[in-house]
């Protein structure tokens, strides 16, 4: 039979919030409840009778609670196949009662690790009985309903409320799928704890899925796995797309490096096309937009300060897809919400995962996130001419931008304003020439500007071209066997050059 009636239920959970209504509905349907420990006490506190696991198995909870439900009378009742005569004969022989519903959740292992608890406490939060119940009940989904976390309380509650203690095969299969997602995620977290930085295998699990209209292009399917709402809250606009997410990610990573300075950035295809730091956000917007008002069309905007009405009115003059900020004034939102499809996001967290990964060939590349932000103290002056204080500030500013630009990347900046950049070119010279051309197109003088490169200069050609355009200071990682040629050119022409020792390739 596809439809099965729930006659008995084993309930053993760590989190009890939201459970009371389910217990009451099960009781009203005449379902026999089986439980142990704190869950049993919780059920009985509702005035509802409950059979103790210990009275069913004939064994008490032992080894400090490590062994409670691991017994043939429990697992036989879960795994016994109702349609198989041999299973039914053995269950009758050994007086094993059928268990039709299992509600269980797992000890909070990840939360315990995150709390900084000692290893002994962490190990005790590795669930054994719970994970076994989940896998056993999910395996026998033909006959048994498994609720593996409080996230599945809502769908079970809806079933009980709408049609009583009966489930279809399709519903039981849904719960089984969710249960295996819980168990695989749990085991991945435990493995990663033990593996630490050994990287002996790749295990990653994300339980939250955001459906997308399509992938990078309309003919490709796409989805996002992760809790988007932990970092950002969408308060207006259309459904976020795959490409929106790529730009949003690039924007968040970029703006995080400008903490402490009121900054506005405009991104297009994951690269900054405008960025400036100023005393006020409105001023920062004006300077960022001036850097490339053409590319700003249809871009993604991000700020690290509250958006007021004056800034919103300026921003509202152009078409853009997404705006991100930590907060907005109410009258600013009234202006920004005039376009119904415009995506408005509140950035709630600046914390990014420590590791990043991407699929390559038939596997996965994993690396640490590039969280390095150079400081003035780390800059090594390699030329006779030392940079002025204002040039040091601009070089640090430009170096943050070039770090988040697609290689080969060159950034030209002055007075904490992105004047122009050349990104994603196969030649560093091409990137520089492109940047110089863009600066000229928008009326910028490069006199007194600085240049940042994401990698070293293998030849002095870029330094020469930049100097002839007006650049007076250069920052790059250094490390080429021909660094001296670039330094010699700078010394002969009064250009200041500093090295950081850190390359920032980005593909």
State the burial class of residue 495 (Cβ atoms within 10 Å of its Cβ: 0-12, 13-18, 19+): buried
pLDDT of amino acid 308:
97
In 329-416, where do the E strands start and end?
343-347, 355-360, 363-368, 380-381, 410-414
Strand 51-52 and strand 32-35: the pairing is: parallel
DSSP 430-459: HHHHHHHHHHHHTT---TTEEEEESS--SS
Positions marked active-site:
139, 269
The SS3 assignment for 261 reads: coil
pLDDT of amino acid 1:
55
**How many Cα neighbours within 13 Å face the side chain of 329?**
13
Residue 433: CB atoms within 10 Å: 17
Q: Please tell me the distance from the alpha carbon of residue 480 to that of residue 474, in angstroms, as a whole number.
A: 15
pLDDT of amino acid 44:
93
pLDDT of amino acid 363:
93
Q: Do residues 139 and 148 make contact, with C-beta atoms less than 8 angstroms apart? A: no
In 88-155, where do the E strands start and end?
101-104, 145-147
The SS3 assignment for 118 reads: coil
Low-confidence ranges of the chain (pLDDT < 70): 1
């Amino acid at each position: 039979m596809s439809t099965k009636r729930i006659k008995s239920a084993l309930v053993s959970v760590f989190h009890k919030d939201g459970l009371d209504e389910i217990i009451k509905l099960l009781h009203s349907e005449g379902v026999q409840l089986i439980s142990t420990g704190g869950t049993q006490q919780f059920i009985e506190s509702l005035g509802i009778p409950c059979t103790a696991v210990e009275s069913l198995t004939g064994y008490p909870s032992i080894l400090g609670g490590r062994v409670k439900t691991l017994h043939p009378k429990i697992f036989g009742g879960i795994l016994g196949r109702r349609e198989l005569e041999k299973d039914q004969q053995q269950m009758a022989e050994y007086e094993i009662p059928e268990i039709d519903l299992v509600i269980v959740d797992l000890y909070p292992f990840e939360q315990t690790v995150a709390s900084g608890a000692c290893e002994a406490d962490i190990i005790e939060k590795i669930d054994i009985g719970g994970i076994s119940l989940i896998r056993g009940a999910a395996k026998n989904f033909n006959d048994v309903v498994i609720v593996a976390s409080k996230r599945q309380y809502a769908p079970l509650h809806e079933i009980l409320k709408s049609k009583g203690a009966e489930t279809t095969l399709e519903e039981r299969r849904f719960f089984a799928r969710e249960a295996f997602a819980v168990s695989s995620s749990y085991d991945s977290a435990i493995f990663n704890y033990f593996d630490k930085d050994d990287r002996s295998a790749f295990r990653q699990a994300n339980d939250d899925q955001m459906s997308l209209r399509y992938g990078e292009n309309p003919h490709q399917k796409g989805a996002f796995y992760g809790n988007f709402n932990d970092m950002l809250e969408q308060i207006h606009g259309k459904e976020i797309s795959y490409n929106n997410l790529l730009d949003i990610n690039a924007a968040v990573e970029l703006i995080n490096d400008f903490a402490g300075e009121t900054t506005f950035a405009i991104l297009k295809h994951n690269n900054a096309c405008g960025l400036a730091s100023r005393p006020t956000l409105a001023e920062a917007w004006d300077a960022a937009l001036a850097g490339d008002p053409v590319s700003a069309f249809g871009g993604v905007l991000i700020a690290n300060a509250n958006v007021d009405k004056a800034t919103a009115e300026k921003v509202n003059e152009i078409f853009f897809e997404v705006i991100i900020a930590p907060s907005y004034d109410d009258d600013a939102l009234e202006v920004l919400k005039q376009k119904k499809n415009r995506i408005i996001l509140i950035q709630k967290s600046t914390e990014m995962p420590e590791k990043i990964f991407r699929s390559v060939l038939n596997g996965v590349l994993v690396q640490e996130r590039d969280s390095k932000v150079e400081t003035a103290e780390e800059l090594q002056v390699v030329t006779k001419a030392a940079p002025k204080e204002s040039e040091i500030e601009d070089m640090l500013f430009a170096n943050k931008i070039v770090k988040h630009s697609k290689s080969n990347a060159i950034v030209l900046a002055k007075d904490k304003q992105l004047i122009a950049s050349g990104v994603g070119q196969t030649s560093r010279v091409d990137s520089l020439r492109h940047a110089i051309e863009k600066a000229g197109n928008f009326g910028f003088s490069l006199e007194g500007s600085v240049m940042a490169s994401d990698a070293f200069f293998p030849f002095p050609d870029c330094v020469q071209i930049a100097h002839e355009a007006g650049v007076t200071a250069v920052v790059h990682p250094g490390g080429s066997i021909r660094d001296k040629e670039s330094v010699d050119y700078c010394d002969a022409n009064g250009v200041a050059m500093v090295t950081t020792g850190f390359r920032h390739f980005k593909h």
